[in-house]
Structure 1
Amino acid sequence: MPDQSIHPTASLEDIDVANILIPIDGSLSALGAVKQVIKNSAFQPQPTTVRLLNVQPVFSKHITRFLREREVHAFQTDRAERALAGAVGMLQQAGLPYSVHVRRGRIVEAILACCSETRCDRIVMGTAPKHALARWLQGSIINTVIARAHVPVEVVSTGEETLLDRIGVPVSIGAGLMVLVALSD
């Protein structure tokens, strides 16, 4: 699935532009990153251009053997458009130039490749607060991007912890400790 440019940007070679990549998955956290970039653009000494990236997963061969390539493409295009709609609307309303990129594949690799290909100066990613144990257990796309990116990565924390993060993880830890104490007796 090639990159799709919805809003063409002016030639960037002639002017100094803050070129920012924002991965968009349709979550409130991703929209929080867009909101932060819009807010910060007013304080930038140079114009800001935003690259929105949506990454669609590659389906397994077990699924694709029952579907035609154009059906998979149509499904992924629809999902990408829905995920990107809120971010696109926010950038249009703010009047910031942007382009939209849709890729298929692994998320981290797609983010890093798009960043390199579009010569972004920075990656801005949104995240919801999570309990440290939940972050450790789930692994983190953000941590991997930070470790592998050759440009600064800004992480914008938005929203609140989920009920599972606030209550479920500490309760699970407590229950696990109680089991260990009971087994040690």
Structure 2
Amino acid sequence: MGGILAPRAAAFEHRLAALIAVDGVYDLGQISVRNIPTDREAAERLLRSGSAPELDASFEKLTATDATARWAINHGMYVMGVDTPRDFSASYLDYTLDGGIAEQIQCPTLVCDAAEDEFFKGQPEQLYNHLTCPKTLMMFTAEEGAGAHCHPGAMRLSLARIYDWLDNTLTHTP
């Protein structure tokens, strides 16, 4: 969650020399509501409600048939300290840079993106587009072995590019 937590912290702490979002996330709530067939407001009410048996059944079906979703949901429940997939999804609703938060970031910012990110596709661009500070969008590709979220297939390459940006930014910042 560093791709949203670091930018959120930087929005309110203006003494930072630089910010790196690997990979950038604009609004975790988008992940929670994207497969609920209704508008965002109704989906949020459903996720936060005391009872939503149809939604709970859909989570149960998803975790029974999709190994990636099962891992992501189970890991997310552990990380967020909640007991159900719906509670996990509801917890994501509170993590956003919407509403002018991203625009408060002042330091030079690197937003990393993975071409084949199956979790947060499009979110790095959203974050980048909302930034008003000096900014760079850095794409990592499958051809480089770095196309997955956070670039696990090419850590040396991704870290080298990120550190080069940081070195250049810090040596050329007044």
Indicate the structure with greater strand content: 1
Q: TM-score, normalised by structure 2?
A: 0.31
Of structures 1 and 2, the larger Rg is shown by: 1
Q: TM-score, normalised by structure 1?
A: 0.30
